[in-house]
Structure 1
Amino acid sequence: MIFNKFKYFIKASSLGSLFTVTTKRKLSTYLLLTFIFTACAPKLKSNLNQSFTPLSQNALVVVLDITDDQIIASKNIGELKAVDNGFSENCTYYETVENLKRLARAAGANLIRITKQKNPDKWSTCHRLWAEAFKVENPQAYETHIEWRADRKLTWDDFKGEPDLENFPEALAVTNSGFSYETGINLFKKGKVFVKSMFNTNLSWVLPQGRTDFILRHEQVHFDITEIYSRKLRKELADAGITSENITKGKPIFDRISIQLQKRQDKYDRETKRGSKQETQENWEAIIEIELAKYDLYKTND
């Protein structure tokens, strides 16, 4: 099995600074198997000591990765796991996390923390995950990454990072957002490609004097622009027929969209004077709303 994941992140500041860009690529190759077998779905299991009213299918479930050491102000209500018999379908990391979130919602949990992780290897084509489930009062307080959603606007509480005035001496606020895509080869069919648009809460920050509604609107548009180019990436990968079988052909598309995103973010800051020109800011907000609607068909990985 081959697993690919590409990431592109930008750091945008209001009222004074440039973007910084980092690009990461991870490629792991696993043993190909020569015997015949049949496919099955991943095994999903919950072991609960307490349950609550199930959540709606779109309710927020915060996922903390295995390295996250936040103290959770609630007792865990049980354990969740997604494993397989060795050769399951639809079990990339993205899909496995989504499966755990569905288990959590069914139990009324709104936060899960990964406690154990096994990557695909010669024994399994799947990502296998174990997690603790929690029911907390305010799940957003624990978010480290926020996936873009139309009904989930940024608040100043999402800017949890420490101000970096050495690198951004004139900034009042800094937004760190980006997109990534990943796929895994499925031994029984072509593996899908999954694109995500994310806001990093721990690398985004604001100074006390920057906590205004207007500057927050400016930062939201930075995230919205990232979402537009995530949708463009999703569309172009689909139009090019990119799957797990030809994933390397998607890298030039990814690089080109990443460059376009950076140029657009730069233009946005330049024309709005990093949020200080109100009329221009409002014009940009209208344009971005139209563009989000234009790419509405590509807002999900379905």
Structure 2
Amino acid sequence: MTLVIVPKDLRQLTWKHFSKVKRPKEKGSDASTGFELSYVPKGGKALVTLKLDASNTWVIQGKMTDALLKHEQGHWDIYILQAEAVDRRLQGLDSKEMRATYVEITQDFGKINQRYDDETDHSRMIAKQEEWDCRLASAKRDHTLLLADICSP
């Protein structure tokens, strides 16, 4: 694998990773987990980097609940799965194919991430959040999450 996660191998979020704000930076959200995903092509391989974006990782003061942190962990898990997909699928491609594949994966995972928030109402719909928790646990075990898996009934 040529995947680097920054901070070093960060898999589990805590509230220490979030800046505390007085009002939401996004309408309808009590917290947000920001990320940066990039790759550098090198001789038919790609070095993939996933970074927690501290400037876009925030929580409203007084809203730090276990349920909300678990929801934000779901976002981070989706980003890790996205980075793993990029890492897997870019290897052996030329730079033009890498770019097209990267864009395709990014678009698919953007849809997954949006659906996650829409269906769970940002963690407020407990039953839907539990369904997503199960989906993500399974995806993490298999190191795969596909749009078709999420969008099928």
Same fold (TM over 0.5): yes
Question: How far apart are residue 147 of structure 1 and its match?
Answer: 5.0
Question: How far apart are residue 161 of structure 1 and its match?
Answer: 6.3
Match of 1:225 in 2: 78
Match of 1:70 in 2: none
Find the structure with the greater CA-based Rg: 1
Match of 1:53 in 2: none
| 1:206 aligned residue (51, 59, 62) | 59
Count of aligned pairs: 141
Question: How far apart are residue 225 of structure 1 and its match?
Answer: 0.5
Match of 2:148 in 1: none
Question: How far apart are residue 288 of structure 1 and its match?
Answer: 0.9
**What SS class does the counterpart of residue 55 from structure 2 fall into?**
coil
Match of 1:266 in 2: 114
Whichever structure has more strand as a proportion of its residues is 1
Greater RCO, 1 or 2 (C-alpha within 8 Å, sep 6+): 2
Is the counterpart of residue 153 in structure 1 residue 1 in structure 2?
Answer: no
**8 Å contact kept, 1:162–1:203:** no
Structure 1 residue runs of 5 or longer lacking an equivalent are 1-93, 99-144, 185-189, 297-302
Distance in 1, Cα, partners of 2:63 & 2:7 = 21
In the superposition, relative to structure 1, how do residues 215 and 262 fare at CA in structure 2: closer, same or farther (>3 Å)? same
Match of 1:183 in 2: 41
| 1:196 aligned residue (42, 45, 49) | 49
Report the residue type matching 1:281 in the other structure: Q
Q: Could you give the per-residue CA deviations for residues 198-250 of structure 1, whole angstroms, max 9, x where no partner exists?
A: 21123211112210111000000001001111111112112xx22xxx22221
Whichever structure has more helix as a proportion of its residues is 2
Distance in 2, Cα, partners of 1:278 & 1:197 = 29
Identity, in percent, stands at: 24
In the superposition, relative to structure 1, how do residues 269 and 255 fare at CA in structure 2: closer, same or farther (>3 Å)? same
Q: Could you give the per-residue CA deviations for residues 131-171 of structure 1, whole angstroms, max 9, x where no partner exists?
A: xxxxxxxxxxxxxx53554xx41111111265663x52432
**8 Å contact kept, 1:224–1:288:** yes
Distance in 1, Cα, partners of 2:47 & 2:23 = 32
